[in-house]
């Protein structure tokens, strides 16, 4: 049997305080009992707090929403490839003109851009984290106030209510039916009833009741702090993009080592009479093998995504969550707080069985005052039946006309698992009564005729609560049996004005929305229908769902609306959907959503949600707007879709650079390019266009297998580019002779490689828009300017000699472009995404 705080009519017992439903109200917290009754302890004094701060007994664990500035600089500067390029850059300063060292300046610019963008993103994240930070309530000098988590000191009295997260370790000082969920720490899903003297651990959260605890461990001594990072308790978002790029870079490194060694040896042998030129051409062969801009653009794309979402009051607590939401194909929505606004309005009160309406109002007023932390439904009742005398001269707050008040002798807070709350009263005339307020289909037997009346109300999208007079003790798990139905309280939920458009967006993007709610299934279906949710008529009462995961997954795929779902069922439903290969996002704001948010691939919490939901969610909508979600999805799709595009460009360059080096080694000829040539080509065909393409809009849903999708295009494109370029180079070697032959040969080979690379860019830029066409044309124009401006010809050592070889180079490039088109289309058919 669940233990709950008992309050004797004549005074409090040690396990809990007295709550007088007729007592004078606290002026700071209207419609709630005075704090002196709820919380006898006064907490620390200002002097005691100052003394503990001086001793360093403060909860000083830093809240890190992002990497530190030092980590950002270190992460962008000290990379494996920067080290390689840095060494090569220093070498080039001693053996070649400055134009052959341009690649080093490009790396410095890239690194600077990465640092600046990530610092901008850090400022955005840190600012939003302060807004979204949990503000626990502590009691000091006898009064309560919200403070920052980092300001809690040892011995502070921290108040708790439903949904509050335990932010430091402590010992329960006060308990009013206090139930704490420790599943995020222990894995046990059942709430633990806490009594004064029981320990509480940071990282747990309140599911029912309230109370206060004394902080016994703060800072790095607290349990949560010992887990190193807050997110280590939860499932981190998997980033296929991040892991895929790491895999690619690992293989590129292993390819580079033997190829670079072979190239060094071959060039020293071929150019035995010109050591400096040999070194320059060796560096020219090694540098383009490194896809140095790929990591930069990935970081920049994520950073700019964070900044864009931050402007919309969206806090991304884990950066890969942007990518994860782009892959989502099922989004599970909690109705209350997501599709509807938090507040409700009482539209009708229907007494049942001849009950006196004035008496019912009195009961509802007393129930409202019995709960110091009312949920949205009870708050609507409190607003409708406030304390004071109504038009009939009867006190609706639970005080008889003669002024004798009702006294709450036992309270049962609302629980998502029970679906009802209750209280027991000693009435002014000496009578005792126990009342329950909650879901009609839970409090009444299935064959009760009252349920038919309620069904009609639910079909209109109204929320209906049933007030019953209990026959047994509130402690009893069978308290609802034999209860007498007394009145129906009809509530109207406020639909979010932007919810319909958001659901329509998900439908257009082929993302299936599932409404999962603890409310009546028919009522939830009506709300979903008003918002135009596809399949809203397919409604399931979760109490009839199969427990087998495979059968549950089948029911979830076939239906769109689920009512009377318990918190554990929400978690099971997420798991069932994932077992079918779905990528699941879960939205919610209540404590009953925490377990499901934790297990979902992406958890999305409202900023006004409980501290527990904000703690486990990867994305927090600080403006509480469901309409922000499409922006998050669109940003994720932009990032991952565009990085997939530009990664193909970078890796095509890596493939053709490695193959060219291998062909040079095998043929024992001079490497055709100096670093300046490949710097020019990389800038015009990869660097500049990739930057714009990586930040362009992209609404295509992210697809799996990032590495396979990139390499299936990059390998054939790189092979064709290398073969065409080397063929032109060999043909030019046989065509030209004399002291300037090498420059003419290099120029012809450069022309072929540029044209083939431009065709790769033209394919990547599809589908064409005006700005993409202009981008490709601008890159072509830039190369043409280099070829026709004399001083640029000298600077880049590019000069086309005669007409035969240049046109031959163009013809070979055209053949390569045709082969690219055929290869691209064959890959699409042979290896579909």
Residue 408: which pLDDT band, with cuts at 50, 70 and 90? Answer: confident
If asked whether residues 638 and 767 sit together in one domain, one would say yes
SS3 call for 548: coil
If asked whether residues 796 and 670 sit together in one domain, one would say yes
- Classify the phi-psi angles of 188: left when phi > 0, otherwise alpha if psi is within -120 to 50, otherwise beta: beta
Largest Cα separation within the chain, whole Å, is 119
Distance CA 545, CA 553 (A): 10
pLDDT digits 0-9 by tens, 172-205: 998 887 888 876 666 555 678 888 989 998 878 8
Task: List, in sequence order, every beta strand (DSSP E) within 536-594.
Answer: 539-541, 561-563, 584-588
Has residue 370 been placed in a domain? yes
**With 90 as the cut, is the pLDDT of residue 811 above it?**
yes
If asked whether residues 598 and 657 sit together in one domain, one would say no
CA 807 to chain CA centroid, nearest Å: 54
**With 70 as the cut, is the pLDDT of residue 399 above it?**
no
CA 2 to chain CA centroid, nearest Å: 36
Q: What is the pLDDT of residue 17?
A: 34
Q: How many residues does the chain have?
A: 833
pLDDT digits 0-9 by tens, 500-528: 888 888 888 888 999 988 888 888 888 88
- What's the domain count of the chain? 3
Least confident of 382-386, 588-592, 643-647: 588-592
Has residue 181 been placed in a domain? no
Task: Determine the structural domain holding residue 413 and report its residue range.
Answer: 354-439+451-488
If asked whether residues 662 and 767 sit together in one domain, one would say yes
Has residue 595 been placed in a domain? yes
If asked whether residues 321 and 265 sit together in one domain, one would say no
pLDDT digits 0-9 by tens, 88-99: 788 887 777 777
The Cβ-side half-sphere exposure at 141, using a 13 Å CA radius, reads 7
Has residue 567 been placed in a domain? yes
Task: List, in sequence order, every beta strand (DSSP E) within 496-543.
Answer: 512-516, 539-541
Has residue 3 been placed in a domain? no
CA 348 to chain CA centroid, nearest Å: 40
If asked whether residues 304 and 317 sit together in one domain, one would say no
- Compute CA distances 17 → 3, 244, 369, 739, whole Å: 15, 58, 14, 101
If asked whether residues 284 and 326 sit together in one domain, one would say no
pLDDT digits 0-9 by tens, 290-331: 777 777 777 777 778 888 888 888 887 766 777 777 788 899
According to DSSP, residue 204 is labeled B
If asked whether residues 244 and 317 sit together in one domain, one would say no
Q: Read off φ and ψ for residue 421, nearest 5 degrees.
A: -125, 175
Residues 382-408, mean pLDDT to the nearest whole number: 53
**With 70 as the cut, is the pLDDT of residue 342 above it?**
no
Has residue 760 been placed in a domain? yes
Has residue 112 been placed in a domain? yes
8 A C-beta contact, residue 369 and residue 387? yes
If asked whether residues 430 and 542 sit together in one domain, one would say no
8 A C-beta contact, residue 65 and residue 128? yes
Residue 23: which pLDDT band, with cuts at 50, 70 and 90? Answer: very low
If asked whether residues 648 and 724 sit together in one domain, one would say yes
Question: Both tokens of residue 297?
Answer: 């653009």
If asked whether residues 241 and 108 sit together in one domain, one would say yes
Q: Mean pLDDT of all residues in the chain?
A: 79
- Compute CA distances 470 → 289, 421, 422, 435, 465, whole Å: 78, 12, 9, 5, 15
- Compute CA distances 302 → 305, 307, 635, 700, whole Å: 5, 9, 9, 17
Its pTM stands at: 0.67
**With 90 as the cut, is the pLDDT of residue 730 above it?**
yes
Question: Active-site positions?
Answer: 334
- The CATH number assigned to the domain holding 671 equals 1.20.1110.10
SS3 call for 607: coil
Task: Find the DSSP H helices in 28-101.
Answer: 35-38, 46-54, 69-77, 80-95
If asked whether residues 457 and 581 sit together in one domain, one would say no
More confident residue, 747 or 701: 747
Has residue 784 been placed in a domain? yes
Query: 155-188 b/e with 16+ CB inside 10 Å = b?
Result: bbbbbbbbbbbbbbbbebbbbbbbbbbbbbbeee
Provide the edge-to-edge strand list for the sheet that holds 619-621.
314-316, 619-621, 602-606, 584-588, 330-333, 512-516, 561-563, 539-541
Closest of 741, 749, 761 to residue 724, by C-alpha: 749
């Amino acid at each position: 049997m669940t233990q709950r705080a008992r309050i004797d009519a004549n005074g409090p017992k040690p396990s809990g305080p007295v709550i007088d439903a007729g007592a004078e109200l606290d002026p700071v917290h209207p419609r709630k009992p005075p704090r002196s009754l709820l919380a006898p302890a006064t907490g620390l004094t200002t002097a005691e707090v100052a003394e503990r701060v001086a001793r360093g007994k403060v909860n000083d664990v830093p809240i890190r929403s992002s990497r530190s500035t030092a980590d950002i600089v270190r992460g962008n500067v000290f990379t494996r490839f920067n080290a390689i390029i840095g060494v090569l850059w220093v070498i080039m300063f001693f053996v070649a003109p400055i134009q052959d060292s341009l690649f080093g300046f490009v790396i410095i610019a890239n690194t600077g851009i990465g640092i600046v963008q990530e610092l901008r993103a850090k400022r955005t994240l840190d600012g939003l984290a302060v807004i979204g930070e949990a503000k626990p309530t502590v009691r000091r000098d006898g009064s309560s106030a919200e403070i920052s988590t980092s300001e809690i000191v040892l011995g502070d009295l921290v108040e708790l209510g439903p949904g509050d997260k335990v932010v430091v370790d402590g010992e329960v000082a006060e308990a009013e039916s206090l139930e704490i969920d420790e599943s995020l720490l222990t894995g046990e899903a059942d709430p633990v009833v806490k009594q004064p003297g029981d320990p509480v651990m940071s990282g747990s959260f309140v599911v029912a009741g309230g109370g206060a605890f004394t902080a016994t461990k703060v800072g790095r001594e607290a349990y949560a702090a010992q887990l190193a990072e807050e997110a280590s308790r939860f499932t981190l978002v998997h980033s296929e993009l991040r892991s895929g790029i790491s895999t690619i870079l690992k293989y590129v490194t292993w390819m580079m080592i033997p190829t670079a060694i072979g190239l060094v040896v071959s060039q020293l042998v071929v150019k035995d009479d010109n050591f400096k030129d040999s070194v320059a051409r060796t560096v020219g062969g090694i540098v383009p093998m490194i896809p140095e801009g790929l990591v930069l653009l990935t970081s920049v794309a994520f950073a700019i995504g964070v900044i864009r979402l931050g402007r919309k009051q969206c806090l991304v607590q884990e950066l890969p969550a942007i990518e994860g939401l782009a892959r989502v194909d099922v989004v599970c929505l909690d109705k209350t707080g997501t599709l509807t606004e938090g507040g409700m309005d009482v539209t009708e009160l229907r007494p049942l069985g001849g009950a006196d309406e004035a008496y019912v109002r009195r009961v509802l007023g007393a129930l409202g005052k019995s709960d110091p932390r009312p949920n949205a439904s009870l708050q609507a009742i409190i607003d409708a039946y406030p304390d004071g005398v109504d038009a009939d001269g009867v006190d609706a707050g639970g005080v008889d006309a003669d002024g004798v008040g009702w006294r709450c002798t036992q309270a049962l807070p609302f629980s998502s698992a029970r679906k009802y709350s209750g209280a027991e009263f000693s009435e002014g005339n000496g009578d005792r009564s126990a009342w329950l307020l909650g879901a009609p289909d839970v409090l009444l037997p299935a064959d009760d005729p009252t349920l038919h009346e309620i069904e009609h109300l639910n079909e209109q999208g109204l929320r209906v609560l049933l007030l019953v007079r209990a026959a047994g003790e509130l402690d009893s798990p069978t308290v609802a049996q034999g209860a007498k139905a007394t009145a129906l309280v009809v509530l109207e939920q406020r639909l979010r004005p932007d919810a319909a458009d958001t659901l329509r967006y998900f439908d257009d993007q082929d993302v299936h929305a599932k409404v999962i709610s603890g409310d009546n299934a028919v009522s939830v279906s009506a709300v979903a229908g008003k918002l135009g949710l596809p399949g809203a008529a397919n409604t399931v009462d979760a109490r009839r769902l199969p427990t087998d995961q495979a059968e549950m997954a089948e029911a979830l795929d076939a239906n769109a609306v689920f009512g009377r779902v318990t918190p554990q069922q929400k978690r099971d439903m997420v798991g069932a959907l994932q077992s079918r290969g779905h990528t699941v996002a879960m939205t919610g704001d209540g404590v009953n959503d925490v377990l499901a948010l934790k297990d979902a691939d992406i958890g999305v919490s409202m900023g006004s949600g409980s501290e527990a939901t904000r703690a486990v969610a990867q994305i927090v909508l600080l403006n509480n707007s469901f309409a922000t979600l499409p922006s998050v999805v669109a940003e994720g799709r932009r990032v991952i879709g565009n990085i997939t595009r530009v990664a193909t460009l970078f890796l095509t360059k890596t493939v053709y650079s490695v193959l060219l080096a291998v062909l040079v080694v095998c043929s024992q000829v001079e490497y055709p390019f100096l670093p300046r040539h490949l710097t020019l080509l990389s800038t015009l065909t990869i660097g500049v266009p990739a930057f714009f393409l990586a930040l362009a809009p992209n609404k295509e849903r992210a697809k799996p297998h990032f590495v396979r999708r990139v390499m299936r295009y990059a390998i054939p494109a790189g092979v064709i580019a290398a073969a065409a370029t080397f063929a032109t180079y060999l043909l030019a070697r046989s065509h030209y002779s004399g002291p300037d032959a090498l420059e003419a040969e290099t120029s012809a080979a450069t022309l072929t490689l540029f044209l083939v690379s431009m065709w790769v860019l033209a394919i990547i830029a599809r589908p064409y828009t005006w700005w993409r066409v202009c981008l490709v044309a601008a890159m072509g124009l830039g190369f043409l300017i280099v070829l026709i401006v004399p001083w640029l010809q000298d600077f880049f050592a590019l000069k086309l000699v005669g007409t035969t070889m240049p046109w031959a180079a163009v013809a070979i490039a055209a053949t390569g472009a045709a082969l690219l088109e055929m290869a691209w289309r064959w890959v699409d058919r042979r290896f579909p995404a």
